[in-house]
Chains A and B, each alone.
Chain A
Amino acid sequence: MLLVDVIVTILLTSGMFFMCIGAIGLLRFPDFYTRLHATGKCDTLGEGLIIVSLIIYHLFHYPGTPLMAVKLLFLIIFIFIANPTAIHAIVKAAYRRGLKPWRLGERRR
């Protein structure tokens, strides 16, 4: 097995770990704000790791088309800008509409 494939597999697995943690946080946290606190960061980092690993895979296994790797690089830059912005817009809309944050001892909602 090639060394590049080992690096790609490690990066894929770590990215998938962060995405699973984000999904579990979206299920298990008690409040809207805490749920987005979990998912907004974990999803962005997980997708970044997975797409970086695919860039390495592409540069090694498809050496004839390096512009595809540049396209993936544009995708990761766009996701790193757009995903926290979208989460911030949702949280700000909820805050302006008067959704109260969760306090310790209250019921889950």
Chain B
Amino acid sequence: MISAFLGIGLLTVLTILLCSYRAVVGPGVFNRMAAVNVIGTKTVVLLVIMGYYFERPLFFDIPLLYAMLNFIGTLVFAKYLERGELCSW
């Protein structure tokens, strides 16, 4: 079971590398932002699997915080790119 967690974690790292190609090369700022958001959501899964691979389920506070920070960061950056400013008054 532990080796299954190791294999799934390594495959997640591989998909993160595939997405980072789009984050580095991808034309335009929107492709890069979408790729960074996808990398963040894959990192949440990687952190949860790491918590079970090292047999310490107390790691779960970190993925919760990381998911919330990723969501807030993506929303703020999308609003900034949409309007050109963050606060209009």
Contacts and interface: CB of A to CB of B under 8 A. Distances in A.
| Co-assembled chains A and B | yes
A51 to B, nearest CB: 6
A82 B71 contact: yes
A36 B34 contact: yes
Nearest to A4: B1
Given A5-B1, A54-B49, A75-B67, A87 B34 contact: yes
Given A19-B45, A43-B38, A65-B57, A90 B33 contact: yes
A43 to B, nearest CB: 5
Interface residues of B, number: 41
Contact of A68 (B8, B21, B57): B57
A19 B75 contact: no
Contacts, number: 128
B12 A32 contact: no
By size class, the interface of chain A is: 35 or more
A24 B11 CA distance: 13
B8 A96 contact: no
Interface of B: 1, 4, 8, 11-12, 15, 18-19, 21-22, 27-28, 30-31, 33-35, 37-38, 41-42, 44-45, 48-49, 52, 57, 60-61, 63-64, 67-68, 70-71, 74-75, 78-79, 81-82
7 contacts: A5-B1, A24-B18, A26-B19, A39-B34, A82-B71, A93-B78, A97-B81
